[in-house]
Amino acid sequence: MAISTIDTDPPLEVQPAWCAGAGKWRAFWQGSRAMMQIPGLVLFSTALGFGAYARDSGLSLGQTAFVSVTVFALPGQVVMVDQIARGAALAAIAFAVMLTAIRLLPMVVVFVPYIRDENAAKGPLLLASHFVAVTAWVLGMAILPRLPVRLRLAHHFGVGTALLVAITVAAMIGHQLAAAVPPALAGALLFLTPIYFLLSLLGAVTVKADQLAIGFGLVLGAPVYLLIPDFDLLGTGLIGGSLAYGIARFCAPPNSQADERQLDESTQVLSQGQPEQGQPKKSKPKKSKPEHDEPPGQDKPGRRS
Amino acid sequence: MSIILEGGWASYAALFAIGFGMTAPWRFVGVLLARNIDVESEIFKWVRCVSTALVAGLIARMVIFPSGALGSIVMPVRIGAFLGGVLVYYALRRHLGLGVLAGVSLLLLGQMFWH
């Protein structure tokens, strides 16, 4: 199982070239560079939209930046700003934000094995967990298994810090531009959030049950909102999620190993770049080209996710 | 809620409470549980389904009942652009950037021709 082998260094031919003799700061730097791919850039644009929306809802520049830094989870940030715009009570906003953040729990649980070292010290891990959001998660799952264990946490901090700075800067720029942007363009910026969320979500889930959950959630979102506007997110989650779980569990092969095997294969595929490059034999031609110093996996997250 | 809009120290405290205060615990508990939690347990899988469906529901709500400037664009254009983006995403072998670009372009084009 992929997860159980994650605590040892991967074979040398799978590691990116820069890992040889690299220290933690090198890994940090490489991590922050890994952000400059499509997911990071799209996230930047989405954060622009968030900044504009925050301004629309009445937040100041400082408040927008503060929320970006302290929350660092676009679904939660968007819900918060959305609820403020609708004039909801503080407790209701808190509840809504809390609900969207539930997703962070399983994400972090799945992610921790990828960044912990032999000691698995809690302090650094707690700090590292703040930087776990969909984009960092997707990038991490693809790249981290290829790195030696000692460099993973530093790399993740690199990715996370770069993303945090990027979305905060983007939110602030979006906030300032909001007044200068015509409504049609402002609408397009705001549209980035749902479309980016969905596509990155689709790229991140590999298990059938989760895929069904996305489908049910999308379909149920509107009707449930009409029926129980105050608890619609919870309702959609519980109903849609339970339906998805039930169908996947009882209509799929009774062997629950099927899902996990799918998860393992996908994890392995992600960790090795594309399937064709998974074989060590085929990865050797790549090493002979100097311009492909970056591992294939570095580019792949942009295409896969 | 007006605490936030008034600005000042109290607003930041409120934002911290409803933002960080509501998201960080989930992350921290995730770290603490990661050792003990059985990632193959049925409960965990169910929780994952629920939270995924929840975020999907949030996405749908944003498109179908938007607030703010997105609301000024008519529903067929929003939905069409959204679905179009997803289609392009899959058609181009799950390319995130182009899927998003397609969705936004469709939205802008639709907005131009239909309002």
Interface A-B: count of C-beta contacts within 8 A: 334
The residue assigned the tokens 């922050």 is A32
Residue A302 structure tokens: 């942009």
Dump pLDDT digits (tens) for A217-246.
999 988 988 888 777 777 888 899 899 999
Of A126, A187, A191, the CB nearest to B31: A126
Rg (CA), chain B: 20
Query: Is the distance from CB of A131 to CB of A156 less than 8 angstroms?
Result: yes
Q: What is the DSSP letter of A61?
A: H
State chain B's mean pLDDT as an integer: 85
Angle at B55 between CA A139 and CA B66, to 5 degrees: 115
- Residue A35, C-beta contacts closer than 8 angstroms, at least 6 positions apart: A139, A158, A159, A162, A163, A166
Q: In whole angstroms, what is the distance from residue A113 CA to residue A144 CA?
A: 10
Sign of CA dihedral B19, B25, A240, A251: positive
CA dihedral A20, A23, A28, A32 (to 10 degrees): -30
Q: In whole angstroms, what is the distance from residue A210 CA to residue A247 CA?
A: 11
pLDDT in the model for residue A289: 37
* Contact B106/A at CB under 8 A: no
Angle at A154 between CA A198 and CA A112, to 5 degrees: 55
The minimum CA-CA distance between B73 and chain A, rounded to whole Å, is 7
Q: In whole angstroms, what is the distance from residue B51 CA to residue A245 CA?
A: 11
**Inter-axis angle of helices A122-130 and A149-177, nearest 10:** 30
Number of continuous H segments (helices) and E segments (strands) in chain A? 15, 0
Phi, psi (rounded to 5 degrees) for B29: -60, -35
Q: In whole angstroms, what is the distance from residue A123 CA to residue A91 CA?
A: 30
Q: Do B26 and A216 touch (CB under 8 A)?
A: no
What ipTM does the predicted assembly reach? 0.84
A182 Cα distance to chain centroid:
30
Dump pLDDT digits (tens) for B60-108.
988 898 866 777 788 888 999 999 999 999 999 888 889 999 999 999 9
> Is pLDDT of A108 > 80?
yes
Residue B84 structure tokens: 């179009």
Q: Do B17 and A94 touch (CB under 8 A)?
A: yes
Dump pLDDT digits (tens) for A24-43.
899 999 999 977 888 888 88
* Contact B75/A at CB under 8 A: no
Q: Which residues of A touch B97 (CB under 8 A)?
A: 38, 41-42, 302
Residues 128-187 of chain A with CB under 8 A from chain B are 128-130, 132, 183-187
* Mean pLDDT across B49-61: 84
